[in-house]
């Protein structure tokens, strides 16, 4: 069952009289519980595509359906609800709040959603166990290594229990060892929790952790390969 459907998506950036097509008719779908990599050289449109799936940007033409919702048609109010409940975002930079503790960082999305303190604390601690940081909950976010900070960001992305995680170069700032830890964690989130993950990367070493790889080049899909299953 597809949980993400991308239908003939075009994105044309305009600046003055110039037009730059970043996506030129991209179509594919992602099944529930799949771990998909989107790969391609810098400038091929990966971030633009992920942002359109996540409702952070709108296509110029074409559309996307995510968990049964046609995302580009949502109003800005509906979009914030959609993003809060349906998508967990993970970026290259971890964007943790430096003056908050690790567990407070993880709790943030639930705090914003108005979840009572005790309930969100309990859930945040459970998520920190899942990402292997149960013993770091009360440290300051900035006291952790880069790899640990990214795992905190992943726990935070899971806080509202979204079915989908969208990750844009999540290992871009990590060394080889932490890259493996983070990508194995994504694999586990699919296998054990049934999450659907779309990960943008230009690290081809990571493809072996995924179910399928979608290759982008110059704004077009040039190939889709099954890696495992």
Ligand X SMILES: Nc1ncnc2c1ncn2[C@@H]1O[C@H](COP(=O)(O)OP(=O)(O)O)[C@@H](O)[C@H]1O
The interface region with ligand X, picked from 41-49, 103-111, 113-121, 183-191 by CB under 6 A, is 41-49
Alpha helix stretches (DSSP H) within 62-116: 76-86, 102-112
From the CB of 172, what's the least distance to ligand X, in Å? Answer: 11
- Should residue 22 be labelled a site residue for ligand X when binding is judged by CB under 6 A? yes
What does the alpha-carbon distance between residue 78 and residue 160 come to, in Å, rounded to a whole number?
16
Binder of residue 42, out of ligand X, Mg ion, none (CB less than 5 to 8 A by kind): ligand X
223 binds, among Mg ion, ligand X, none (CB under 5 to 8 A by kind): none
Asked whether position 201 contacts ligand X by CB under 6 A, the answer is: no
Interaction site with Mg ion (CB under 5 A): 46-47
* Count of residues engaged in binding ligand X, rule: CB under 6 A: 11
Rg (CA), the chain: 17
Answer for which of 46, 151, 156, 212 binds ligand X (CB under 6 A) is: 46
Using the minimum distance from each CB to Mg ion, give the nearer residue, 47 or 86: 47
Contact criterion met (CB below 8 Å) for 49 and 28: no
To ligand X, the closest distance from the beta carbon of 214 in angstroms equals 12
Asked if 20 touches ligand X (CB under 6 A), the answer is: yes
Minimum CB distance to Mg ion, residue 21 (Å): 16
Kindly give, in sequence order, each residue whose CB lies less than 8 Å from that of residue 97, ignoring residues fewer than 6 positions away.
Answer: 104, 105, 108, 141
User: E strands, the chain, where?
Assistant: 2-15, 18-31, 35-39, 61-66, 69-70, 87-90, 164-168, 196-201, 212-217, 220-226
Nearer to ligand X, 42 or 76 (CB): 42
- For position 222 contacting ligand X by CB under 6 A, the verdict is no
Q: Which residues pair with 39 in a beta bridge?
A: 201, 215
Question: What's the CA gap between 205 and 212, in Å, rounded?
Answer: 13
Given 6, 45, 96, 189, the residue binding ligand X (CB under 6 A)? 45
Nearer Cβ to Mg ion (45/162): 45
Rounded to whole angstroms, the Cα distance separating 131 from 184 reads 10
Interface positions, 48-107, toward ligand X (CB under 6 A): 48
Q: Which residues pair with 174 in a beta bridge?
A: none
Tell me if 42 contacts ligand X by CB under 6 A.
yes
- Least distance in Å: CB of 201 to ligand X? 10
**Strands 2-15, 87-90: pairing kind:** unpaired
Contact footprint for ligand X (CB under 6 A): 13, 20, 22, 40, 42-48
């Amino acid at each position: 069952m597809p949980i993400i459907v991308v239908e003939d998506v075009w994105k044309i950036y305009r600046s003055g009289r110039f037009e730059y097509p970043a996506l030129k008719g991209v179509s594919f779908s992602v099944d529930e519980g799949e771990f998909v990599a989107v790969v391609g050289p810098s400038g091929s449109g990966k971030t633009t595509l992920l942002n359109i799936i996540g409702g952070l940007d709108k296509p110029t033409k074409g559309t996307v359906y995510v968990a049964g919702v046609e995302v580009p048609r949502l109003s800005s109010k509906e979009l914030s609800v959609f993003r809060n409940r349906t998508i967990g975002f993970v970026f290259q930079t971890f964007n943790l709040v430096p003056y908050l503790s690790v567990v407070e960082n993880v709790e943030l999305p639930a705090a914003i959603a108005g979840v009572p303190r005790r309930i969100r604390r309990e859930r945040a601690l459970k998520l920190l166990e899942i990402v292997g940081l149960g013993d770091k909950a009360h440290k300051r976010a900035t006291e952790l290594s880069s790899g640990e900070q990214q795992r905190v960001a992943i726990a935070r992305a899971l806080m509202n229990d979204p079915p989908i995680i969208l990750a844009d170069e999540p290992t871009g700032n990590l060394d080889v060892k932490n890259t493996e830890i983070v990508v194995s964690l994504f694999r586990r989130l699919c296998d054990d929790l049934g999450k659907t993950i779309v990960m943008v990367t230009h690290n081809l070493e990571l493809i072996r952790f995924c179910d399928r790889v979608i290759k982008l080049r110059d704004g077009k899909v040039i190939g889709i390969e099954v890696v495992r299953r």
